[in-house]
Structure formats: structure tokens, C-alpha cells
Amino acid sequence: MSILVTGGTGYIGSHTCIALMEAGYDVVIADNYYNSKPVVLERIRELAGKEPVFYNCDIRDRAGLDKIFTEQKIDSVIHFAGLKAVGESCHMPLQYFDNNVSGTVVLLEVMAAHGVRRIVFSSSATVYGSENESPLVEDMHIGSVSNPYGRTKVMIEEILNDLYASDDRWSICKLRYFNPIGAHKSGRIGEDPNGIPNNLMPYISRVAVGKLEQLTIFGNDYDTPDGTCVRDYIHVLDLARGHINAVQKTLADTGLFTYNLGTGHGYSVLEVVNAFIKVTGQNVPYRIGPRREGDLACVYSDASRAKAELGWEAQYGIEDMCADAWRWQSRNPDGYDG
Ligand code: NAD
Ligand code: WQD
């Protein structure tokens, strides 16, 4: 079976390509290297011992996608390609809607033209917005999101809902990821954000490796046990494995499916920092700063549906996530530029 992975050289995509090849799938990647680098492809090849087919292709490029579907026999698609920085999306909303929403529409049109109607889509816990209380359940009403990035995910979910309503031959898996962190056990691939990281774990790792001076914890006056925000961190390897189960679902059944991919457990910012210090033995200087605009106090999943219907549940705990993030960062202090 052959799987087209859009965004396959990105953080989650690269781990998923390896998991797919290890599970015996043929992998075709479409990525425009907007937020990734060619060296990732070499590392995927090194770790999987196999060569994925690669197309340097923007998903908005209809002719480019058409060429892929003409040249390759694609059985199902995992669609990671997209822009993902919440803050940036507030400054350049049109680029986000164009890349994420228009890009997805082009992809779906080309898929339909080639009779490929199976897709796994990277959605996000962000679609639950501010009105729902954790644990978050898939059937909750979504949409009260506060930023353009989150709105692109809600809009794409709605497009997928309408597509299935129009043609029930489709098989569509919407996966809502919580907070993916960690890296491959080899320390050869991991998360490599450009510039100063926005997200917690890459920030902690760069402080530990000496690239940044100290972490600022955004607020300790939330209504949580230690006052810092609580999130459902999930190991990227667990997430990658979840995509295998989701692809199998698209190959086995038609339908419209939505699954949270989280652990079902929340950790506070302080708990993550302390777990990292404990596991790695590194110093992580931090200070308490003001709250970050838009942050919610407590976000974690109800992960029971993925377990019941996909037979998937997370296996790694916070200490594995910290140890593996550190192995990647310490062996690649300059990320993929090293
Ligand atoms: P990433 O930026 O590392 O990977 C995305 C990949 O898509 C990159 O390689 C980039 O070059 C590529 N890409 C972007 N626009 C493209 C386009 N128009 N055509 C072709 N390729 C394009 O991000 P990631 O963390 O691996 O996230 C993957 C997906 O998961 C994204 O859709 C993201 O919104 C979603 N997601 C991520 C998180 C997270 O915290 N990392 C959480 C929830 C959902
Ligand atoms: C986690 C916690 C911060 C950095 C984001 C997106 C979400 C999803 C996952 C894509 C928060 C605190 C962080 C720092 C800190 N992505 N923090 N100091 O905001 O939960 O989720 O990534 O879909 O849509 O919003 O993740 O890693 O940015 O923050 O104190 O320097 O760490 O306040 O409580 P977040 P994060």
C-alpha cells in the first residue's frame, strides 16, 4: 500500500514516514520545504533503511499534485502540510487561509479527480476553543477559536464534513493532536523551529543546551494545582503510531471519523520543567513572567475514543518525552544546520 504524506519532511511528518515504512507501507512525500530541510529526507532514509519517493511540491500547485497522482499509485493520504504558528497567523492571516485552507481544497480536488478518497487530516486540540472544559471530547461543539491558525483547522474540518455529506464513498479521519513533543529515539530527527521557539519544549531544550539564557514561564496565577498552565503533552512517536492506525481505518472503512490523539493526562509547565531537569540532569534557569495572551489554564484530552475505535493509546510518559527531546537537542545543538 502506498501513502502520500504531505508535509512529510516536517516534525510530525518525518516521524510518521519512518513509522509507515517500518510498518511496510510505501511512502510518497510532497513537501515544499517551507518549514523543513532536504537533510530530513536523508535522515528518514537512514533510519528507515528505505527511500521514500519525494516531490518538491506545494499543495496549492494543482499541476504538481496531478503529476504525483498520475505517476504514483496512491492508496491513502496523510495531510500534514500547513503553516502552524499561532502568533504569526494573526499577522499574516491571508497566507494561513491560502496555504492551509486553499491548499487543502486543491489537494481534495486532485484526489477526487484521481479517485483517491481516503485521507487522514492533521487537526488540532485548538479547535475546541475556549468554551469547552477539559477533558475534551470529540463530540463537543467546536469553533470558538481566537486566532486565524485555529480557524483554518475548524474550516478544514467543516470542509471535510461537507465533502463526506456530499459523497459517502470518502473515508476521512480527522486527528486532533494535543501537544506533540519529544523526538525519535535515535536523536537523528526532531523538532527544529526557526528562530526563537514559541513552544515550551523546544524553548526548554534550547535553554538547556545554552542557546537561550532562561525560560519565561507565562504566568503562575492560573486556577491549576501549581498556578501554571496544564497541557496534554504527547510523544511524537506515539502520535506517529496513531497515524498508522488511522491510515488502516481509512483503508478498511468509509466514513467520517474524528479522534483526539493525546494521553488523557495533563502536566503543568512547572511539572514539565522539573521532569526535564530530573531526567537530563541539565540546568534550566527560569523566571515567572506575565500570562501569554490567548493561553487557556487547562487543556487535556479524553483519549478513550481512539482507544476504543482505533486500538491506539499513548505509551510514553513525560520523562521519555523529555529524555528524547534532549537527546535530539544535545546531539544537534544547531538543529538540522549542525
Ligand atoms: P512542520 O512545520 O514541522 O511540518 C509541516 C510541513 O509542511 C513542513 O515540512 C512544511 O515545509 C510543509 N508545508 C507547509 N506548507 C506547505 C505547502 N503549501 N505545500 C507543501 N508543503 C508544505 O509542522 P508539524 O509540527 O509537523 O505539524 C504538522 C501538521 O500538524 C500541521 O498541519 C500542524 O498544523 C498540525 N499540528 C501540529 C501541532 C504541533 O504542535 N506541532 C499540533 C496540532 C496540529
Ligand atoms: C505550552 C504551555 C504556555 C512557552 C500550541 C498551539 C496549539 C498546538 C500546540 C498546533 C503554555 C507555556 C510556553 C514558553 C511558557 N499547535 N509556555 N513559556 O500554546 O498549548 O499549544 O501548540 O495546532 O494550537 O496553540 O503550546 O508549547 O506554546 O505552550 O510558559 O516560553 O507552556 O503558556 O501554558 P500551546 P506551547
Q: What residues pair up with 56 in beta bridges, in sequence order?
A: 31
Ligand nearest to the CA of 296: 2
In 3-state terms, what secondary structure has residue 126?
helix
Cα 48 to ligand 2 centre (Å):
30
Strands, E assignment, 255-328: 255-261, 267-268, 286-289, 298-299
Q: What is the pLDDT of residues 244-269, one digit of tens each?
A: 999 999 999 999 999 999 999 999 99
316 is catalytic: no
Nearest CA to ligand 1 atom 8: 10
Q: What would the mean pLDDT of 153-158 be, rounded to a whole number?
A: 98
In sequence order, the 6+-apart residues with CB closer than 8 A to the CB of 191 are 11, 181, 183, 199, 201, 202, 236, 325, 328
User: What is the per-residue pLDDT for 51?
Assistant: 86
| Total residues found in the chain within this entry | 338
d(CA 312, CA 309): 8
**pLDDT over 70, % of the chain:** 100
Q: How far is the CA of 231 from the centre of ligand 2 (A)?
A: 8
The band of 146, judged by pLDDT with boundaries at 50, 70 and 90, is confident
Q: 175: which 3 cell numbers?
A: 486527528
In the reported structure, the alpha carbon of residue 110 is separated from the centroid of ligand 1 by a whole-number distance in angstroms of: 20
Testing ligand 2's pocket by substitution, the residue of 89, 179, 301 carrying the most ligand atoms inside 8 A of its CB is 179
Residue 338 has pLDDT above 80, yes or no: no
